[in-house]
C-alpha cells in the first residue's frame, strides 16, 4: 500500500470521523458506525478510492541526488 493521504487530509478525516460517531451516539443511530471509515483511512494513511481517481494529497517523497562515481569527495 502506497501512502496517498497527507497531513491536512488526515486531520480532516479524524474530525469528520469523530463528528459522525458523535452524531450517531447522540441520535442513537447505527449510522454513526460509518465514522469509523474516515478514522481507519486516516490511521493507515491510505484511501482506496483515491487510487482509481489518481489522487494523492501527500507530498511526494524527496529523492536524493545520486552520488558521483567513486563516492563523495573528502572536504
Each residue of 29-70: pLDDT tens digit? Answer: 999 999 999 999 999 999 999 999 999 999 877 777 776 777
Q: At 68, is the secondary structure helix, strand, or coil?
A: coil
The pTM of the full predicted model, rounded to 2 decimals, is: 0.77
> Any idea where the domains of the chain sit in the sequence?
7-53
Q: What is the rounded distance in angstroms from the CA atom of residue 6 to the CA atom of residue 57?
A: 5
> Which residue carries 478510492 as its cell?
49
d(CA 3, CA 19): 24
pLDDT at residue number 71 = 65
Amino acid at each position: 500500500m502506497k501512502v496517498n493521504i497527507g497531513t491536512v487530509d488526515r486531520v480532516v478525516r479524524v474530525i469528520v470521523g469523530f463528528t459522525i460517531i458523535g452524531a450517531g451516539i447522540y441520535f442513537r443511530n447505527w449510522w454513526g458506525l460509518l465514522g469509523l471509515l474516515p478514522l481507519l483511512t486516516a490511521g493507515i494513511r491510505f484511501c482506496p478510492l483515491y487510487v482509481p481517481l489518481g489522487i494523492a494529497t501527500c507530498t511526494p517523497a524527496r529523492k536524493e541526488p545520486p552520488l558521483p562515481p567513486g563516492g563523495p569527495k573528502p572536504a
